[in-house]
Chain A
Amino acid sequence: MALLEIEHLKKYFPSPRGTVHAVDDITFSINKGETMGLVGESGCGKSTLGRTIIHLLESTDGVIRFEGKDVTHLKKDGLKKLREDMQIIFQDPYSSLNPRLTLRDTVMEPLKLSGRYTDAQVQAETDRLMDLVGLEKRFRESYPHELDGGRRQRVGIARAIALNPKFVVCDEPVSALDVSIQAQILNLLMDLQEEYDLTYLFVTHDLSVVRHISTNICVMYLGQMVETAPTQELFDHPMHPYTKALLSAIPTVDIHNRTERILLKGEINSPINPKPGCRFAKRCLYATERCHEPVELQEVAPGHFCSCPRAKELSL
């Protein structure tokens, strides 16, 4: 069953030079216990989408449904209740923790605010959470600046799962960490998912990480979804020229089977008042006239959607 569905979700920002189409008409759903990987380059709107879904930003248009209920326009009490179910882990464990609270106080805060627990229970629950994320006892009274990035991120995770949320947005949770620490945190996130049947929206620009953790993947380019498919299908049969280029650009450690690089020309264009048509057309090797007319997602294989009008004929 779909835990979260979003339909035609939009988030626009006004700017002196015009309207920024940060998230432009995105539709997908995530089943309970699964992970949707959201990939794309910086500035493509993936973090904005994550934050709009959990109501850190107000959506401009579209519908967000959580457990079958329309939660798009919730306010006050309803929103407070929803926030217990929807949480976020931020990218930068250095700036997302309050520097003036000890780690223990940070994890305790949501427990106290919820009003679910007595004082004694709050203490016990805090310890349980910190055990769960593997934060050693000797660090629990420390302040964030005294810890390394990996441990700080563990605190960020403990805080996010404190009230047993059903859905967690992981916004580049391992991008700021070294590979060996990154692997520890990814393992932790997957263990927690198994144990508590959590549903993740995993936002990242790192395709090897997303492949490792996701059930489905959604590729974004300049505010739009260009392709979505189950993970294996997307890596085996990428249909959109952008996805193809993105996959080929990943440096791999296999020195004997090098794959051919597709080098994209130019850079991502501006999301301010974009022209109709495929937004990738300007950099695309296969663009034709009709790519400048409005494009729509089409089902190219079961569960596999792609917005490229030439996807089928190109068979990349």
Chain B
Amino acid sequence: MSNAEKNLISVEDLVVEYHSGGETIHAVNGVSFSLEKGKTIGLVGETGAGKTSIAKAILRILPDHATQAVRGKINFKGQELLSIPEKEMCALRGKSISMIFQDPMTALNPVKPVVEQIAEGLRRHQNMSKAQSIQGAIKMLETVGISEDRAYEYPHQFSGGMKQRVVIAIALACNPELLIADEPTTALDVTIQAQVMDLMKNLQKELGTALILITHDLGVVAEVCDYVAVVYAGQVVEYGSREEVFDHPSHPYTVGLFGALPDLSKNVHRLSPVEGLPPDPSNLPEGCSFAPRCPRALEGCRKAPVGMSKIGDTHIVRCLLDGKEDSHGTVRD
């Protein structure tokens, strides 16, 4: 089987630009990745790196009035998502591709009982009758650990963790092939985060769903992802299997992210943060966008955009140093 057939979704050279006050904001600048059925990829990066724009571009839910351009290719099971009619896209959303949003407090309709909000999708996509859809919704609630007697309650009657379970139930109700989860546990406490991650992992195993997990938390990535894409200033700067990226972080930015984490198993007195701030997306540097903050930038880094180089089986990095030095500063050959 060729790669193209094996992949459930492949994103190629995705570009998203917004316009605001006469300026063009370059949110996503040529992102490519692909994902097989049942696998998980983690998109890691800081606020403003363009992670959420990538997700919204896939679902085509970017705000029209602010979006200047969306270019590139998004192939989902042979369909070109960026060019199919809106009607066909509607049929995919919530059915084949669904999304879990970051904030469960605002993602739910406050004036509808939760069971109704799950049943909605079932009626829309599975042609169920009202009674059937309610039955299905209650079953879904039970799957995520909410008992039937709370089905007719409203979102405000639930705690944060339970609201996020409802959001997960809505997203998974129609058995989607691809789930995009945008910081699904960021708003939750660690113990509840552990519950929710555990639930998502189990459901994914059961249903064979592919997952794009957007997060800034490397710990969460280590826990659930097969592949990792590190996103900086709208570009993937490092990509590889979880082992490749965690064992041999190769882009200076990835190395910096690891250095900035207080590590539970080591006693480091001072953290080594990445100095400075991400670049202004309306005014990106000419060369590598990380060069202004990079402790190891070379002359060539600032001159022209840097391409991706292959340094391992699936491991690629956007750096002129080609990951020749790993995080310990030792040279690998």
Interface residues of A (CB under 8 A from B): 41-42, 148-150, 178-184, 186-187, 190, 205, 207-209, 211-213, 235, 245-246, 248-255, 261, 263-264, 267-268
Contacts and interface: CB of A to CB of B under 8 A. Distances in A.
A128 to B, nearest CB: 22
Contact of B262 (A181, A186, A245, A268): A186
A-B CB proximity, top 8 nearest: A251-B219, A183-B273, A212-B262, A183-B260, A183-B271, A41-B189, A249-B194, A180-B274
Interface string B127-160: 0000000000000000000000000000000011
A267 B188 CA distance: 12
Given A179-B46, A255-B222, A255-B243, A263 B194 contact: yes
Given A180-B273, A183-B271, A211 B264 contact: yes
A217 B145 CA distance: 33
Contact of A179 (B191, B243, B246, B257): B257
B323 to A, nearest CB: 18
Contacts of A253: 218-219, 222, 246, 258, 261, 263
A278 to B, nearest CB: 16
Contacts of B258: 253
Contacts of B194: 248-249, 251, 261, 263-264
Nearest to B264: A208
B262 A261 contact: no
A69 B216 CA distance: 45
Contacts of B262: 183, 186, 208-209, 211-213
A211 B264 CA distance: 7
Contacts of B216: 178-179
Contact of B198 (A42, A235, A261): A261
A264 B197 CA distance: 13
B41 to A, nearest CB: 15
Nearest to A232: B267
Given A180-B274, A246-B190, A253-B219, 9 more contacts: A148-B277, A180-B46, A184-B273, A187-B270, A205-B189, A248-B194, A252-B222, A261-B194, A263-B194
A187 B262 CA distance: 11
Nearest to A182: B260
B72 interface: no
Interface in B172-195: 189-195
A190 B242 CA distance: 33
B160 A42 contact: yes
Contacts of B269: 190
B161 A187 contact: no
Nearest to A180: B274
B192 A267 contact: yes
B282 interface: no
A17 to B, nearest CB: 13
Contacts of B168: none
A186 B272 CA distance: 10
B162 interface: yes
B207 to A, nearest CB: 20
Interface residues of B, number: 45
Contacts of A213: 262
A236 to B, nearest CB: 11
A315 to B, nearest CB: 22
A42 B277 contact: no
B47 interface: yes
Contact of B190 (A178, A182, A249, A267): A249
12 contacts: A41-B189, A179-B260, A183-B273, A184-B275, A208-B263, A212-B262, A248-B194, A249-B194, A251-B193, A251-B220, A251-B222, A252-B219
A261 B269 CA distance: 27
Among B46, B256, B260, the most chain A Cβ lie within 10 Å of the Cβ of B260
A231 to B, nearest CB: 10
A178 B195 contact: no
A145 to B, nearest CB: 14
Contacts of A150: 277
Contacts of A254: 222, 265
A255 B247 CA distance: 8
A261 B195 CA distance: 10
A235 B256 CA distance: 26
B195 A264 contact: yes
A42 B46 CA distance: 23
A183 B270 CA distance: 9
Nearest to A40: B189
Contacts of A181: 46, 273, 277
Nearest to A248: B194
Contact of A252 (B47, B256, B259, B264): B264
A40 B198 CA distance: 21
Interface string B215-226: 011111011000
A261 B136 CA distance: 31
Among A182, A212, A253, A268, the most chain B Cβ lie within 10 Å of the Cβ of A253
